[in-house]
């Protein structure tokens, strides 16, 4: 009995139960929601959230935050378009664009590691910096319109729109990211040091951990996550735009916090972030099927973020002790 209670009290299991309730609720509101094919292919609309949120988990575990992720997505997208229209092979353009996103993350991490400025302030500044660079590049190539740069090769478009063994390709990217970053966080020395830096930076430094190195690489990983997310979105829409990902910040950070990562650092799991990404994506899909606008959907996601933070700050140990006490009493 105790094992079952502890399992139910695990945050990830609570998220799975919430996801089931969410699916039942939206199915009751609109019977078309429970179409399995629609549910699977709807993941194309929100898989980018998970791709950006999973590496972001590392940043928030260190006690930081990166609100420039949306700008990195746009910068990656327009970089692919501009490099490709200037004669570069599209896959080489993708590699260079992802490298640019890693450099953007390194800029964030470097400034944060070697200054006393808060991560929120630094990444707020770089958010405008990266966004501005993307707009300048876009304007210089006459691609500032709504459609941006289009006409990509079919092989690139199929990256996000194609199927493998009957399932959409982005789903495989999400599973690969989930496994890769779960292994890095849970089974490597670097992953353990990420937690130590988030729990107590000074203690980590006194223990001989290269805390600045850990911090910088956490932001580099977050930058790469934003870059891969930008690649998938560009392929999905078959269009490179500077404003792609402009609305990604809120759902990405919400996915990390809702997934159980402590906003103050030191705690978190990649699995929780992955499940929370699906929860948020399903919610956006369900709300859109109820004819809600993207602005109204953002209100709901913002509300979820507040609830998630409050729940994470709740004294769950006291609740566990109360449940154990009742179990012994029975």
Domain assignment of residue 173, yes or no:
yes
- Range 260-269 average pLDDT: 88
CA distance 148 to 77: 10
268 phi/psi in degrees, rounded to 5: 155, 160
Does a structural domain hold residue 229? yes
Q: Is residue 72 part of a domain?
A: yes
Share of the chain above pLDDT 90, in %: 52
Predicted confidence band of residue 312 (pLDDT cuts 50, 70, 90): low
- Confirm whether 312 is domain-assigned: no
What is the per-residue pLDDT for 328? Answer: 59
Rg, the chain, Cα only = 20
Instruction: Count other C-beta atoms under 10 Å from residue 240's C-beta.
Output: 32
Lowest mean pLDDT among 48-52, 254-258, 277-281, 292-296: 292-296
- Residue 171 belongs to a domain: yes
| DSSP bridge partners of 168 | 163
Full domain range(s) for residue 216: 45-247
> Residue 240 pairs with which residues in a beta bridge?
149
Mean pLDDT of the chain: 87
The DSSP bridge pattern shows strands 167-168 and 163-164 to be antiparallel
Residue 274 belongs to a domain:
no
Average pLDDT, stretch 43-50?
A: 88
In the structure, what pLDDT confidence band is assigned to residue 31 with cuts at 50, 70 and 90? Answer: confident
Split into its structural domains, the chain has a count of 1
Q: Is residue 153 part of a domain?
A: yes
Query: Using the 8-state DSSP alphabet, how is residue 293 labeled?
Result: -
Residue 76 lies in a domain: yes
The per-residue pLDDT for range 54-106, each reduced to its tens digit, is: 999 999 999 999 999 999 999 999 999 999 999 999 999 999 999 999 999 99
Closest CA relative to residue 287, chosen from 298, 297, 299: 297
Furthest CA-CA distance within the chain:
74
More confident residue, 319 or 287: 287
3-state secondary structure string across 129-195 = HHHHHHHHHHHHCCCCCCCCEECCCHHHHHHHHCEECCEEHHHHHHHHHHHHHHHHHHHCHHHHHHH
Contact present, 174 and 50 (Cβ < 8 Å): yes
Phi, psi (rounded to 5 degrees) for 167: -115, 145
């Amino acid at each position: 009995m105790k094992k079952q209670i502890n399992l139910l009290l695990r945050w990830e299991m609570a998220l799975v139960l919430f996801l089931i309730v969410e699916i039942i609720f939206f199915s009751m509101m609109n019977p078309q929601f429970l179409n399995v094919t629609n549910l699977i292919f709807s993941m194309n609309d929100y898989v980018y959230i998970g791709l950006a949120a999973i590496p972001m988990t590392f940043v928030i575990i260190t006690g930081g935050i990166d609100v420039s992720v949306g700008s990195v997505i746009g910068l990656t997208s327009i970089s692919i378009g501009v490099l490709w229209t200037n004669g570069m092979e599209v896959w080489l353009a993708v590699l260079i664009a992802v490298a640019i996103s890693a450099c953007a993350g390194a800029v964030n991490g470097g400034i944060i590691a070697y200054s006393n400025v808060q991560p929120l302030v630094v990444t707020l500044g770089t958010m405008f910096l990266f966004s501005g660079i993307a707009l300048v590049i876009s304007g210089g190539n006459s691609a500032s319109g709504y459609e941006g740069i289009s006409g990509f090769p079919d092989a690139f478009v199929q990256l996000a729109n194609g199927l493998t063994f009957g399932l959409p390709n982005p789903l495989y990217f999400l599973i690969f990211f989930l496994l890769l970053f779960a292994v890095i966080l849970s089974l490597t020395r670097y992953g353990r040091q990420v937690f130590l830096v988030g729990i107590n930076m000074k203690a980590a430094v006194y223990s001989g951990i290269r805390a600045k190195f850990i911090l910088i690489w956490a932001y580099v990983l977050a930058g790469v996550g934003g870059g891969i997310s930008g690649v998938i979105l560009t392929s999905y829409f078959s269009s490179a735009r500077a404003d792609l990902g402009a609305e990604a910040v809120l759902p990405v950070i919400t996915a990390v916090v809702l997934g159980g990562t402590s906003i103050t650092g030191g705690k978190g799991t990649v699995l929780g972030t992955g499940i929370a990404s699906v929860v948020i994506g399903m919610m956006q899909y369900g709300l859109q099927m109820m004819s809600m606008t993207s602005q109204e959907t953002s209100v709901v996601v913002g509300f979820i973020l507040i609830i998630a933070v409050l729940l994470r700050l709740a004294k769950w140990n006291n609740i566990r002790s109360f449940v154990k006490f009742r179990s012994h009493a029975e």
